[in-house]
Structure 1
């Protein structure tokens, strides 16, 4: 016999569960972040590993698929490092232009707001003093990155090796009557994550080419490096696009005179964003789970608050998996609709009023 508890009891229990979950995720971030990335990589490499497994032993197939992924990653890193080397060719000229720009800003602040140069220096020193506490966190972050470099490959290998064991555990946790729903959720989750990640990689490559081409035409220094960085930042929904535009604008400000180039950069990036949002994302990313813009922004900010930059990248796949689960469970379907991008033309109140009117009219006719 299922007992339905009143609303004022359900809400505190749900909130308490959310608080405990967030607390655990925050405390165990050093373990969960590499584990989450490893799970995504394992799902992405699973088709390649399965294809190799038809001719090779399972362990050899897993190692080969991971080696291919590592080679591709090192190729991208080598390309970026070669572009970064060119960045330092004109660093002295950019430093001089930056000094002139800062001096202009100081004069503008003193003229507009009455903040003297001495007061501005005091404010900068105060900000620097307050930021000294972040040095320890930065060192911790570097050590965390080094641990992630070793943990992610190990986690990925073990997840792919024990894939069958993990799947059997998930099936056995739930009763036999829910086996079909569990199978559907797992199948859709795998397909959604694979299509999402592969689509993002293709989209990022195209955006990188478009960004670099536009910046090269406009004569911006380090165009390819800035274009690729902008494409990577574009992976962060809405927020990354703003930062991606700021980088070439800042570079043009430090290396050119006037503001014509900056305006052309903004116009070019606006056009690229329009092409990306209206053509590339709907046709290339083509994820089976579409999350609306409001939820995307909120979940990215929550991911940043919880796990920092890794949380921003992991937030969208995480919410996509949640939507798949919500859509398959009757009691959670309203939450799945809230996360989705299908906007109804009328709300439930209007539909109920229309039904009452129709019912009243038919009664009067009778």
Structure 2
């Protein structure tokens, strides 16, 4: 006997479930964030482990794959550290230019709005005092990230080691009639995450090279460091690109006279963003799941509110996995369409009215 639950009863239950889920995700963020990163890394390293397992024991294969990944990360960090050291060589010049720029801005504000320099300094001090709590939260978040970094390798190793146990759990939870659908979801989720992460790494490398080359040609100091940071920030959809452009513009402002270089930087980054959005992302990232721009922005902001910077990076892969699941469950397919990037050519309501008239 099938009982139809009225919408006014179903809707509050769904909302309550969402509230409880978000609350649990927020409370357990210190456990779930490293676990989520470890899961994505384990999926990425899985093909490498499988290749090593043909000749080596399982534990040795996992350890070797993780060693190669950590070695690549160390090389990248060493490269960035050399660029940071070069940045500190010019810190005195940058400080002097910032001081001069501050005086120019204060004089302009005083002439334009009649606000004295003393009043401006007082307002800046008040803003600094009010932002101490935010700075403290940011530092706590950075310390949390450092502690998470030590957990991620442990979680990654264990996920790869117990992979058959985890997969069998998903198959055993569902009945035999749904096992084929579960297999499709797991296979496509693994493939989508692998292609997404590998594509992002390649895209980030190319964007870093283009950013650095453009800034070097324009004579912006610390061009390589700013170019690499801009490419990493570009991983954050829409929001990161804005910050990435602001960094070289600020560096050009405090290190060069005039505004021609800043305009050239904006123009160069606009061209790079066009190449990235229209050539690199469609052809290199090649994610099997396309999420529309509206959902991308909303989910990134929600991820930032829930899990901070980590949530911003994890939000897009997470929503991609949800879309894969939604597309294969009959009752959730409309939600999958809402998340997708395919825009229908006809309005369903208008189509129904047209059919009634006929």
TM-score, L = length of structure 1:
0.95
Q: Secondary structure at the match of 2:90?
A: helix
Correspondence for 1:299 = 299
Measured against aligned partners, the alpha-carbon deviations of 1:301-357 in whole angstroms (never above 9, x if no partner) come to 000011111000000000000000000000100000000000011110122233234
Deviation at 1:138, TM superposition (A): 4.2
Aligned-partner Cα distance in 1 for 2:15–2:108:
49
Higher mean C-alpha displacement, 178-187 vs 127-136: 127-136
Tell me which residue corresponds to 1:144. Answer: 144
Report the equivalent of 2:244.
244
Shift of 1:5: 1.0
Q: What are the equivalent positions in structure 2 for 1:65-104 lying under 5 Å apart?
A: 65-104=65-104
Q: Secondary structure at the match of 1:221?
A: coil
Root mean square deviation, CA, Å: 1.2
Deviates most, 338-347 or 140-149:
140-149
Shift of 1:127: 1.8
Q: Deviations over 1:249-274 (max 9, x none)?
A: 00101111100000000000000000
**Displacement, 1:141?**
2.5
Match of 1:266, SS? Answer: helix
Query: 1:10 offset after TM fit, Å?
Result: 1.2
Q: Are positions 1:199 and 2:203 aligned together?
A: no
Taking the aligned partners of 1:135 and 1:329, their CA distance within structure 2 comes to 44
* Structure 1 residue 139 displacement after superposition: 4.6
User: 2:261 aligned with 1:261, yes or no?
Assistant: yes
Separation in 1 of the partners of 2:104 and 2:340? 47
- Structure 2 CA distance for partners of 1:215 and 1:353, relative to 1, 3 Å: same
1:117 maps to 2:117: yes
Alignment of 1:309-324 (within 5 A): 309-324=309-324
Match of 1:43 in 2: 43
Partner residue, 2:108: 108
Output one character per residue of 1:130-183: Cα deviation in whole Å (capped at 9) or x when no partner.
233345434533431232121000000000000000111111111111101111
Separation in 2, partners of 1:202, 1:115: 50
1: CA distance between counterparts of 2:26 and 2:116? 43
> 1:177 corresponds to which residue?
177
What residue in structure 2 maps to residue 308 of structure 1? 308
Identify the residue that residue 33 of structure 1 maps to in structure 2: 33
State the partner residue of 1:355.
Answer: 355
Structure 2, gaps ≥5 residues long: none
Structure 1 gap segments, 5+ residues each: 361-366
- 1:54 counterpart SS class: coil
Aligned length: 358
Following the alignment from structure 2 to structure 1, what is the Cα–Cα distance between the partners of residues 39 and 243? 28
What secondary structure does 1:133 align onto?
helix
Counterpart-to-counterpart distance in 2, 1:105 and 1:289: 47
Cα displacement string for residues 221-258 of structure 1 (whole angstroms, at most 9, x for unaligned residues): 11111111000000000000000000000010111110
The verdict on how the C-alpha distance between 1:24 and 1:194 changes in structure 2, with shifts beyond 3 A counting, is: same
